[in-house]
A and B are shown apart, each in its own frame.
Chain A
Amino acid sequence: MKRIYMDHSGTTPIDPRVLEAMMPFLTEKFANPSSIYTEGREVRASLDQARVQVAKALNADAGEITFTSGGTESDNLGIKGIALGRKEKGGHIITTTIEHHAVTHTVDYLGENGFDISFLPVNKYGQVELETLENEIRDDTFLLSLVYGNNEIGTIQDMRDIVKLAHKHDVLVHTDAVQAVAKIPIDVKDLGVDLLSLSGHKIYGPKGIGALYARKGLRLAAVQHGGGHEKNLRSGTENVAGVIGLGKAMEIGEIGLTTEIPRVKAMRDRLVKCILSELEDSYLNGHPEKRLPHNAHFRFSYIEGEALLLNLDMMGIVASTGSACSSKSLKASHVLLAIGLTPEQAHGSLRLTLGKGNTDEEIDTVLEAVPKVVKKLRAMSPLGHGGGK
């Protein structure tokens, strides 16, 4: 049985064209790009070219792109880099209650080291409201970090308006766009963001590579010190093949915005519509329209997500859940709690994130499987009436 992969927000397979671009740098083009002989200079030139590819996809300048080991490091470098690069000691950072742990735990660390941190609440769709933000801004607020497209519920923020408001108060804006890149058009100049994180493995590139966009003129401290690579912002011999792969993935991803993404969105829309009409007491988490085009995040009453996930797994369908029972901490997802769900409600969540490999036939299969499993588990459950429509 062919497996149906619907966890593209978890990670993605490498696009064959990306792999092809990378291969020479894993084999014969192995020179260190810092070496000054011919082979080294050639690799350096390829790195520079990849930097241009990444910059172009964001409408940034190549000099504003720093390569990192992924989304986590980009978040760390962006946030700590700004915080520790300031002349003043301490100060106030604002973030939200729906961030990825790469941001949450980074600001927690800064909170333990002399900075004040505020976590903005979000509305029931997972959006930051301008009024809430404006009320939180203080004289010493210097940074706002806000996830652009949420990795769980898929909600997209009204970034341009948020940036405008933040800048009015001289607050810089960092956005974690790991899930948004190659899903929605991103133009850093138009959005106005000061820093933006992205990651290779969410966009059909390799794992262990990412980038931080930092607007020209910003003062950032390095987090990792050493030989002065990446303009002294991120020392360490470059992950050359990874960088080349990221460049190619960004280029392909940008083209895909007008070709691949509409196809994925149409499949997602059909999936959501049919599931919600087929099953009673089923809901879509996140915003109905302002959401990532590949994300469907459901909530089914009376059942638990891990049981749902395992049943689907046995039927060949790969999905994800925010249920406490599937997490190491046995705590419900902080994002689901932040949008106002009770722990009991958060248990019954199912995330399906679509991607390039998926087909309409696969959607048909999932549309048969999900209601079947939900009804089976409801029939076992002591809660509720346990039926479909």
Chain B
Amino acid sequence: MYSEKVMDHFMNPRNVGEMKDADGVGEVGNPTCGDLMKIYIKVENGIITNVMFQTFGCGAAIATSSMITELAKGKTIDEALKLTRDDVAEELDGLPPIKMHCSNLSADALRAAIEDYRKKNPGK
């Protein structure tokens, strides 16, 4: 049911863990319905230099979290804000339809992290 790429990101997730000195943190989801994602970003001169994640959830939730960290790293904030759920799913060679809504939250979490960063750093 999962693509090889999903399984790879799920079994060998990239950039896992808590970032203690993050410039922005975004959290989405709700453990009651199965998924909770936390994305941490480090920003220098408007560029996302590091991204990390922590996720409680199914295989798709973990794989999409891992994928967004790779997609966002090195991008400007404006570029990163354009990343969508569909981009993440596409980069993973697709997700089972049932997982598209419930577990594909990482683009939202990234956006929340950027909003958090902007709130802490007005004008950037």
A residues neighboring B (CB under 8 Å): 302-304, 306-307, 310-311, 314, 323-326, 328, 330, 342-344, 347, 379-383
Closest 3 CB pairs of A and B: A325-B58, A382-B54, A306-B58
**Are A379 and B59 in contact (CB-based, < 8 A)?**
no
Report whether over half of chain A's contact residues are helix, strand or loop; otherwise say mixed.
helix
B55 within 8 A of A: yes
Closest Cβ–Cβ distance, residue B36 to chain A (whole Å): 6
B32 within 8 A of A: yes
Given A307, A314, A342, A382, which contacts B58 in the complex, CB threshold below 8 Å?
A307
**Are B33 and A343 in contact (CB-based, < 8 A)?**
yes
Please name all residues of chain B whose beta carbon is closer than 8 Å to the beta carbon of A326 when the two chains form the complex. Answer: 58
B46 within 8 A of A: no
Which residues 36-72 in B have Cβ within 8 Å of A in the complex? 36-38, 54-59, 61-62
Please name all residues of chain A whose beta carbon is closer than 8 Å to the beta carbon of B34 when the two chains form the complex. Answer: 304, 323-325, 330, 343, 347
Q: A304 CA to B37 CA in the complex, in Å? A: 13
Instruction: Write 13 A-B pairs (CB below 8 A) sorted by A numbering.
Output: A304-B35, A304-B58, A307-B59, A310-B2, A325-B58, A325-B103, A343-B32, A344-B31, A344-B32, A380-B16, A380-B62, A382-B27, A382-B37
Please name all residues of chain B whose beta carbon is closer than 8 Å to the beta carbon of A325 when the two chains form the complex. Answer: 34-35, 57-58, 61, 102-103
Please name all residues of chain B whose beta carbon is closer than 8 Å to the beta carbon of A303 when the two chains form the complex. Answer: 56
Q: A340 CA to B11 CA in the complex, in Å? A: 32
Q: A343 CA to B33 CA in the complex, in Å? A: 7
Given A323, A343, A347, A380, which contacts B13 in the complex, CB threshold below 8 Å?
A380
Q: A166 CA to B58 CA in the complex, in Å? A: 43
State the total of A-B contacts with C-beta under 8 angstroms: 71
Report whether over half of chain B's contact residues are helix, strand or loop; otherwise say mixed.
mixed
Please name all residues of chain A whose beta carbon is closer than 8 Å to the beta carbon of B31 when the two chains form the complex. Answer: 344, 347, 383
> Which of chain A's residues has its CB closest to B38's CB?
A382
Please name all residues of chain A whose beta carbon is closer than 8 Å to the beta carbon of B59 when the two chains form the complex. Answer: 306-307, 310
Please name all residues of chain B whose beta carbon is closer than 8 Å to the beta carbon of A302 when the two chains form the complex. Answer: 56
B117 within 8 A of A: no
Q: A328 CA to B1 CA in the complex, in Å? A: 12
Given contacts A307-B10, A343-B33, A344-B32, contact A330 B56 (CB under 8 A): no
Please name all residues of chain B whose beta carbon is closer than 8 Å to the beta carbon of A323 when the two chains form the complex. Answer: 34, 58
Q: A382 CA to B31 CA in the complex, in Å? A: 10
**Are B33 and A324 in contact (CB-based, < 8 A)?**
yes
**Are B55 and A382 in contact (CB-based, < 8 A)?**
yes
Please name all residues of chain B whose beta carbon is closer than 8 Å to the beta carbon of A311 when the two chains form the complex. Answer: 11
Please name all residues of chain B whose beta carbon is closer than 8 Å to the beta carbon of A382 when the two chains form the complex. Answer: 18, 27, 36-38, 54-56
**Are A380 and B33 in contact (CB-based, < 8 A)?**
no
> Which of chain A's residues has its CB closest to B59's CB?
A310
Q: A74 CA to B25 CA in the complex, in Å? A: 55
Query: For B7, B58, B103, which residue has the most chain A Cβ atoms within 10 angstroms?
Result: B58
Which residues 71-113 in B have Cβ within 8 Å of A in the complex? 98, 102-103
Please name all residues of chain B whose beta carbon is closer than 8 Å to the beta carbon of A306 when the two chains form the complex. Answer: 58-59
Closest Cβ–Cβ distance, residue B2 to chain A (whole Å): 8
**Are B57 and A307 in contact (CB-based, < 8 A)?**
yes
Given contacts A347-B31, A382-B38, contact A328 B55 (CB under 8 A): no
> Which of chain A's residues has its CB closest to B27's CB?
A382
Closest Cβ–Cβ distance, residue B21 to chain A (whole Å): 17
